[in-house]
């Protein structure tokens, strides 16, 4: 039995944050300037009372209804998020209950960001191909907006909220349909994309909410998301092209054997540079950041869903997937459609 992607669905919050909205809040940044820096037009933002489990359940319900899936057949839930409902219990357990899945179903969270979807595929592959599960629900649900300070335009212009649900099943095949994989980790870069306060190392105190302004005019507190964009770009340019080459070598494939490429949708500037450095043709290099922004672990499956809606993929197509970012963490794989 070989694991394969059987279906993908998504959920986007109704609230949106457009460049026009941002330009009203930050008069020194025009609509054109925001777009030229990010390539993003619109971001979906969850409302104050909406939780990660709410979005996860909505994405999963869409997957189940769109593909006539019998809920009793799902025997494992993998949920990737960095904004769980609680420190405990596990959000995946809450999602199992809300969806009405069998109590014989396994369920776990894994805390990973922009590389999370590829890591999730590797976990699902391992579970299926060792006979531990047969029908896996891989969910990404992320709301960085809950960590972002209203006055920090450096990240408010980039990030959006979204959830996706992927059904991963097994079938007989004489070759892999997901994989091989290349992984990478460099925790030395952890401070360059971080929410400093709120965990066990730096618990929330009164000082956690004190706002300060940086030299670029961005206002945030220690409980908010901080990103060092210059360092993230350097890390990405160093690791992603070499990871692509390592994956192709491991898979015994050339770039011409790849039909489509979906990288983590960070922003236009970064993706344009990556496409140039990796040498993939523009028509094979799929992007979706304009409509959603950077939705962290949901960007790659959102790209897959868009391609499916546009009927781009045909049976046998090879799609190269690369996630990279917070951690630092990165991962790449090839899937056969």
* CA 168/CA 121 separation, integer angstroms: 8
* CA 101/CA 96 separation, integer angstroms: 5
Give 130's contacts (C-beta < 8 A, 6+ positions apart).
none
How much is the pLDDT for 263?
A: 98
How much is the pLDDT for 323?
A: 98
* CA 116/CA 287 separation, integer angstroms: 18
* CA 16/CA 220 separation, integer angstroms: 22
How much is the pLDDT for 234?
A: 97
Q: Exactly one of 46, 135, 264, 267 is catalytic; which is it?
A: 264
Q: CA dist 174 to 2, 19, 128, 157, Å?
A: 8, 49, 15, 46
How much is the pLDDT for 272?
A: 96
Query: To the nearest 5 percent, what fractions of the chain are helix, strand and coil?
Result: 40, 25, 35
* CA 54/CA 269 separation, integer angstroms: 32
How much is the pLDDT for 160?
A: 98
Within 17-89, residue ranges assigned H as helices are 19-25, 31-38, 52-66
How much is the pLDDT for 44?
A: 98
Q: Exactly one of 192, 224, 267, 294 is catalytic; which is it?
A: 294
- Catalytic residue check, 294: yes
How much is the pLDDT for 112?
A: 96
- Catalytic residue check, 264: yes
Token pair 């990660």 is found at 52
Q: What percentage of the chain has pLDDT greater than the value 90? A: 99
- Tens digit of each residue's pLDDT (9 = 90 or more) over 106-143: 999 999 999 999 999 999 999 999 999 999 999 999 99
Q: How far is CA 66 from the centre of its chain?
A: 22
How much is the pLDDT for 173?
A: 96
Tell me the whole-structure pTM to 2 decimals. Answer: 0.97
How much is the pLDDT for 24?
A: 95
Those residues of the chain that have pLDDT short of 50 are none
In three-state secondary structure terms, 131 is coil
Q: Are 220 and 211 in contact (CB under 8 A)?
A: yes
Q: Exactly one of 114, 135, 224, 267 is catalytic; which is it?
A: 114
């Amino acid at each position: 039995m070989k694991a394969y992607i059987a279906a993908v669905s998504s959920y986007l919050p109704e609230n949106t944050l457009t460049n026009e909205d941002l330009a009203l809040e930050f008069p020194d940044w025009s609509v054109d300037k925001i777009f030229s820096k990010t390539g993003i037009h619109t971001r979906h933002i969850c409302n104050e009372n909406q939780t990660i489990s709410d979005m996860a359940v909505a994405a999963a319900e869409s997957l189940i209804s769109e593909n006539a899936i019998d809920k009793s057949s799902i025997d494992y839930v993998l949920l990737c998020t960095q904004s769980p409902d609680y420190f405990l219990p596990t959000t995946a357990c809450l999602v199992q209950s809300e969806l009405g899945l069998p109590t014989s179903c396994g369920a776990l969270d894994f805390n990973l960001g922009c590389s999370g979807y590829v890591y999730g595929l590797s976990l699902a592959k391992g579970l299926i191909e060792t006979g531990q599960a047969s029908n896996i629900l891989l969910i990404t649900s992320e709301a960085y907006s809950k960590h972002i300070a209203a006055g920090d335009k450096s990240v408010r212009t980039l990030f959006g909220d979204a959830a996706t649900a992927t059904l991963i099943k097994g079938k007989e095949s004489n070759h892999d349909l997901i994989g091989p994989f290349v992984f990478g980790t460099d925790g030395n870069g952890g401070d360059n994309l971080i929410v400093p306060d709120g965990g066990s190392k730096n618990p929330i105190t009164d000082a956690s909410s004190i706002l300060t302004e940086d030299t670029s005019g961005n206002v945030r507190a220690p409980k908010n998301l901080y990103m060092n964009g210059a360092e993230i770009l350097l890390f990405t340019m160093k690791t992603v092209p070499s990871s692509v080459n390592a994956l192709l070598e491991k898979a015994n494939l050339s770039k011409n054997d790849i039909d489509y490429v979906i990288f983590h949708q960070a922003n236009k500037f970064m993706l344009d540079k990556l496409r140039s450095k990796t040498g993939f043709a523009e028509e094979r290099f799929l992007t979706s950041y304009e409509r959603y922004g950077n939705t962290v672990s949901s960007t790659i499956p959102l790209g897959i869903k868009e391609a499916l809606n546009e009927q781009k993929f045909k049976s046998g197509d090879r799609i190269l997937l690369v996630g990279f970012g917070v951690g630092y963490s990165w991962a790449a794989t090839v899937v056969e459609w």
